[in-house]
Structure 1
Amino acid sequence: MQNNLSLYHLVRQPKVKKDKNPLLLLLHGYGSNEEDLFSFAEQLPDEYLIVSARAPYSLPPYGNAWYAINFDAGMNKFSDEVQAVASRDLILKFIDELIEAYPVDKEKITLIGFSQGAILSYAVALTYPQKIQRVAALSGYLNTEIAGKEYTKDELAKLRLFISHGTADQVIPVDWARKAPEFFRNLGIETEYHEYPVGHGVAPQNFYDLLSWMEKTA
């Protein structure tokens, strides 16, 4: 493991070694860490190099965040979009470092993000569409304020999306999540969308649907 890179990370080497393997980059949610999504790693397909990154901002006692979430006197939430953009660009730098450090097929890079990690995954793909093949956004929403504004349909043409959300999510309302598939389909991007009768988490059926989508779009 090479943790001299920009983000601390865990690695599952591909079980089927190729000259260059596709990369799955796992991006956790607010207040979590790199071990969270990495718990799925052994169930993910054998041919992938799987990397789970730790977000750069520490949240005591043991969590991390991609950007701060602040509250006003009325308990309204505000995202620190300056930190979010910094993390977006740091993720891109980290991807470039992974391509240098590991035998990665740079044409086959998939982001799997949960919650805040899903928000960042959207932002990375929209800002650097030439870098990302697929995004799986679990329990997140699309914040276009932290995405590059210059993307075109042609640049995004190869992107594929899997979007899922719990209908009982009390952290990020399902109505927020529903805006993303419409946005991407209007850009002509192939998008698969699922809802599940759960809260802010990944239901077993959600995981199976994700694996099915990965197989279909590989």
Structure 2
Amino acid sequence: MIDMLTVETAPVCDAVVIWMHGLGADGADFPPTIPYLRLPEELKIRFLFPNAPERPVTINGGWVMRSWYDILSMDNNGREISRDELRSSVDSISAIIQAQTAAGIAPERILLVGFSQGGAVAYETGLTYPQKIGGIAAMSTYLPRHLDEVAPSAVKDLPIIALHGTMDDVVSLAMGESAVEQLSKVGYKPQWKTFPMGHEVSIESLNTLGRWMSERLHH
């Protein structure tokens, strides 16, 4: 099983957020942002922050870092990636979902959240997972494969929100918009929110994410 950090907001939790970090970061990246979500105290959430494997990343000169998959080349229109490593990461996150449901968490009370490369894995996992989960929050990210190649099996009412900075110089705004357009074209109804920021999170974007989480997980 993949190693990960766990933060629980109650002694007994009935909802899970699986939150994936970006390229070169790790699971410790996002626990400090939890207060900025401004979640209602009555929500009993288990936050899981998995660590991607360490592997060489071609676009970074072959340096070894935490990466959900190798990126072979990139430009403002997309990324050429290792599909085998993407599939391996999707399998790892799917295994976490399965372990949580086996422990008694309803699939519809499991949210996938991911930043940048972690958001790409959140998209791919949520769109292909065999059960309906609670939703996907895609932050400053893109679809790792064109939807024509994915053939998503998730139900069309799967809640999806995409958050992106208007000044993002790592994952272009156009790549974020393309993901939303592809999803809309095949029948999903993603929310699209932009913020005056770069390739990062802001208090405003975290507040927005927290409101979305609260709506998904309220009883």
Band the TM-score falls in, shorter-chain normalisation = 0.7 to 0.9
Q: Determine the structure 1 residue equivalent to 2:110.
A: 109
**Is 1:55 equivalent to 2:31 in the alignment?**
no
**Secondary structure at the counterpart of residue 39 of structure 1:** helix
CA shift, 1:151, in A, is 3.2
Which amino acid in structure 1 is aligned with residue 184 of structure 2?
R
Which amino acid in structure 1 is aligned with residue 12 of structure 2?
K
RMSD, aligned α-carbons:
2.7
CA shift, 1:17, in A, is 3.1
Which amino acid in structure 1 is aligned with residue 10 of structure 2?
K
Q: Determine the structure 2 residue equivalent to 1:167.
A: 166
**Is 1:7 equivalent to 2:2 in the alignment?**
yes
Which amino acid in structure 2 is aligned with residue 116 of structure 1?
Q
Which amino acid in structure 2 is aligned with residue 128 of structure 1?
Y
**Is 1:127 equivalent to 2:128 in the alignment?**
yes
CA shift, 1:129, in A, is 5.0
Fraction of identical pairs, as percent: 25
Task: Give yes or no for contact 2:134–2:216 (8 Å, CA) kept in 1.
Answer: no
CA distance in structure 2 between the aligned counterparts of 1:64 and 1:110, rounded to whole angstroms: 22
Q: Determine the structure 2 residue equivalent to 1:27.
A: 20
Q: How many residues align?
A: 205
Q: Determine the structure 1 residue equivalent to 2:88.
A: 86
Q: Determine the structure 1 residue equivalent to 2:59.
A: none
CA distance in structure 2 between the aligned counterparts of 1:180 and 1:143, rounded to whole angstroms: 9
CA shift, 1:112, in A, is 0.7
CA shift, 1:57, in A, is 2.8
Task: Give yes or no for contact 2:107–2:131 (8 Å, CA) kept in 1.
Answer: no
**Secondary structure at the counterpart of residue 104 of structure 1:** coil
TM-score, normalization by structure 1? 0.82
CA distance in structure 1 between the aligned counterparts of 2:140 and 2:209, rounded to whole angstroms: 13
Q: Determine the structure 1 residue equivalent to 2:196.
A: 197
**104-113 or 167-176, which moves further after superposition?**
104-113
**Secondary structure at the counterpart of residue 107 of structure 1:** helix
Task: Give yes or no for contact 1:123–1:146 (8 Å, CA) kept in 2.
Answer: no
Q: Determine the structure 1 residue equivalent to 2:34.
A: 41
Which amino acid in structure 1 is aligned with residue 135 of structure 2?
R
CA shift, 1:131, in A, is 4.3
Do the aligned partners of residues 137 and 203 (structure 1) sit closer, same or farther apart at CA in structure 2, a change above 3 Å counting? Answer: same
Q: Determine the structure 2 residue equivalent to 1:3.
A: none
CA shift, 1:88, in A, is 1.1
**115-124 or 126-135, which moves further after superposition?**
126-135
Do the aligned partners of residues 86 and 147 (structure 1) sit closer, same or farther apart at CA in structure 2, a change above 3 Å counting? Answer: farther
**Within 5 Å, which residues of 2 pair with 1:202-217?**
202-217=201-216
CA shift, 1:146, in A, is 8.4
Do the aligned partners of residues 31 and 108 (structure 1) sit closer, same or farther apart at CA in structure 2, a change above 3 Å counting? Answer: same
RCO higher in structure (CA 8 A, sep ≥6): 2
Task: Give yes or no for contact 1:127–1:147 (8 Å, CA) kept in 2.
Answer: no
Task: Give yes or no for contact 1:9–1:52 (8 Å, CA) kept in 2.
Answer: yes
CA distance in structure 2 between the aligned counterparts of 1:133 and 1:209, rounded to whole angstroms: 17
